[in-house]
Chains A and B, each alone.
Chain A
Amino acid sequence: MNFKKQFSEGLLSKNPVLVQLLGLCSVLAITTSLFNGIGMGLSVTVILICSNVLISALRKVIPSQIRIAAYIVIIASFVTIVDLVLQAFIPDLSESLGVFIPLIVVNCIVLGRAEAFASKNGVLASAVDGLCQGIGYTVALVIMCVIRELLGSGTFGGGILNNGEGIRIIPEGYPAMQMVMPVGGFLTLGFVIAGFQWYTRHSRNKKQKEAAK
């Protein structure tokens, strides 16, 4: 088991959002304030860890013909638990994420990790994998949130800092409201992925040049 490698894969080289392009529905829909982004990221991380652990523990019991159905039931149960917990303890978050919490069931990241990792590896490795992929997803969400919130509402940390109003950086009347609307979601994700691709290519070239010397 290689924690460091799994971590860098989840965060960079196999980031679920920026490289594998999974679970884009929630990434585009809810990244309008930092509160939403962190809340959604943590919920998905918790569900990923739980479902990875259970699926990995049951991997020798579940017949391979019906494994997808079994995975979906396991994931749906954990999603329901998280949904009910949020409704009871953080109703604000539950309200602002709305239907996207139950929709984590069909989020390709969770099912994808179950199929690609948890069904083949041990319990502990699967738990770590869930944690690392979840962190990668959360980081991508937070980047999207910060950019969209700053340009769209002109604030930072909406929902958390400054009694939930966020710290105002751009004066009122100046921010482009379109950035917190659907258009901004697509544009921001496009530019974030482009920046990420530029960064990976840049660092690879640099390494090659150093190796050539």
Chain B
Amino acid sequence: MNEYVQTLIGILLAAILSENFILVKFYGICPFMGVSKKIDTALGMGMAVTFVMGIASAATWAIYRLLVLLHLEFMQTVAFILVIASIVQVVEMFLKKAVSALYKALGIFLPLITTNCAVLGVALLNVQKGYDFLLSVVNGVCGGLGFTVAIVLFASLRERVEKSDCPECFKGMPITLVAAGLLALAFMGFSGLKLF
């Protein structure tokens, strides 16, 4: 049991810091670049992704067991993407009815999450590493938290980068990518981080 807790904490640290989903593993670069212009929208996106990643990890774990039972493991990519798309749809409808304030805040970002590689990526990674149910969900939620940390940090950086005076050809995306590179350099400091 003790060893299990250690693995759990290891996954937690890795997903948030040392193997950050955006800055180390490069999952979900599109929303990272697309919705990081303001801190509050970035935070909203991060929370929505965390939520969906948690649920998707749980659901895809169950789906994968079913696929194994039917000897259809090769269908995992197709099955996972369908499950994720349906989850996003259900979450969207549920939030619209039940928590309309949150729905309004997340609004446009929700449908975008389907094509966020972080969600499909975490589902595939859980299978690849053979995590059980709890570890999968922890990996999903913490991966989402890592995503949130990175996107919020980057949004606050970017507000300053946008106003900076840089060479003409670096305006827009290039200087943003260079700034992201420097943030990734900072996160490299966490590599090799281990508690036990």
List residues of A whose CB falls within 8 A of some B CB. Answer: 21-26, 28-29, 69, 72-73, 76-77, 79-80, 83-84, 99, 102-103, 105-108, 111, 178, 181-187, 189-191, 193-195, 197-198, 201
A181 to B30: give the CA distance in the assembly, Å. Answer: 19
On whether the beta carbons of A21 and B33 are closer than 8 Å, the reply is yes
16 contacts between A and B (CB under 8 A): A22-B30, A76-B77, A76-B78, A80-B75, A80-B78, A102-B76, A106-B114, A183-B182, A186-B180, A186-B184, A189-B177, A190-B177, A195-B169, A197-B171, A197-B172, A201-B169
Tell me whether A28 and B78 are in contact (CB under 8 A): no
Q: From A111, which residue of chain B is reached at the shortest CB distance? A: B115
Q: Contact at A84–B74, with CB atoms within 8 Å?
A: yes
Min C-beta distance of B169 to chain A, whole Å = 4
Residues B169 and A25 in contact, CB atoms below 8 Å apart? no
Known A-B contacts A72-B85, A80-B74, A190-B177; A105 and B26 likewise in contact (beta carbons under 8 Å)? no
Contacts of A107 in B (CB 8 A): 117
B contact residues around A184 at 8 Å (CB): 181
Q: A25-B27, A72-B85, A194-B169 are in contact. Are A80 and B178 (CB under 8 A)?
A: no
The answer to whether A190 and B175 touch (CB under 8 A), given A72-B85, A76-B81, is yes
Please measure, in the bound complex, the distance between the C-alpha atom of A77 and the C-alpha atom of B115, giving whole angstroms.
16
**What is the interface size of chain B, counting residues whose CB is below 8 A from a CB of the partner?**
45
Q: Which of A103, A187, A194 has the most CB of B within 10 A?
A: A194
Count, A-B residue pairs, CB within 8 A: 121
A178 to B187, CA, bound (A): 12
Contacts of A84 in B (CB 8 A): 74
Rounded to whole Å, the gap between the CB of A177 and the closest CB of chain B is 11
Per the bound structure, the CA–CA distance linking A28 and B120 in Å amounts to 17
Q: Given the complex, which residues of B lie within 8 Å of A198, measured CB to CB?
A: 168-169
Which residue in chain B gives the minimum CB-CB distance to A75? B81
Quick one: given A25-B28, A185-B26, A198-B169, are A103 and B117 in contact (CB under 8 Å)? yes
Q: Counting CB contacts under 8 A, is B153 at the interface?
A: no
Our pick among B28, B30, B115, B178 for the contact of A190 (Cβ within 8 Å) is B178
- CB neighbours (8 Å) of B26 from chain A are 25-26, 28-29, 182, 185
